[in-house]
Amino acid sequence: MISKRNILILLSITILLTQTACEALKPKKVSAKDFPPDPRKRVEKNINEGRGFRMFDNKNSGTNYEFASSNPLWRATLETLDFMPLVSANYSGGIVITDWYSESGSPNEAVKISVRFLTNEIRSDALDINVFLKKCSQNMTNCSISRNDNDLIADLNLNILKKATKYQKDMIEKNKKENPYVVGN
């Protein structure tokens, strides 16, 4: 059997919770100046502020199952390095590693490139590119490997970012949908 004291405690907690919930339901006081009367201007303001309802926008979901072909940085990197044999291209790990590559004119020198993706955004610091040079003696017995920090890294970075920007612009143009609201007129 429930005592009067327990009933009183339960009733007090219920009243407190109800009062707290009512506070959250009270409308906020806003100024009419913040919301233009013209619906087109309100839509434009909400779009510019990134607010609104979107049916199939998965940007806030916990996991992102984006295909590698839809990532402009990934596509640009693979296209830039397509002349070299790849040892590893792991999209989920965010790394591309080439095999040792040498041109027919210099068989004693080879180059290996690794590209690590730090972000999916197209920015100057999105990629960590390493270039390794292998120089061997004439009889290919003594080889030395060194990390190269010359203009090749900057050229690769610039080339990949330019291609990625182009891919992203093309993708945006392709996926652009007609907005039912005329914005700005």
Burial 115-124 (b: 16+ CB within 10 A, else e): bebeeeebee
Scanning the structure block, which residue is given the tokens 């007609």?
A: 178
Domain boundaries, the chain: 68-175
Integer angstrom CA distances of residue 159 from 20, 75, 110: 58, 12, 21
* CB 99 within 8 Å of CB 86: yes
pLDDT of residue 128: 93
pLDDT above 80 for 182: no
Q: Of the spans 13-22, 48-57, 89-98, 167-176, which averages the highest pLDDT?
A: 89-98
Write the CATH number of the domain with boundaries 68-175: 3.30.530
Cα dihedral angle (122, 152, 85, 168), rounded to 10 degrees?
Answer: 20
pLDDT of residue 27: 65
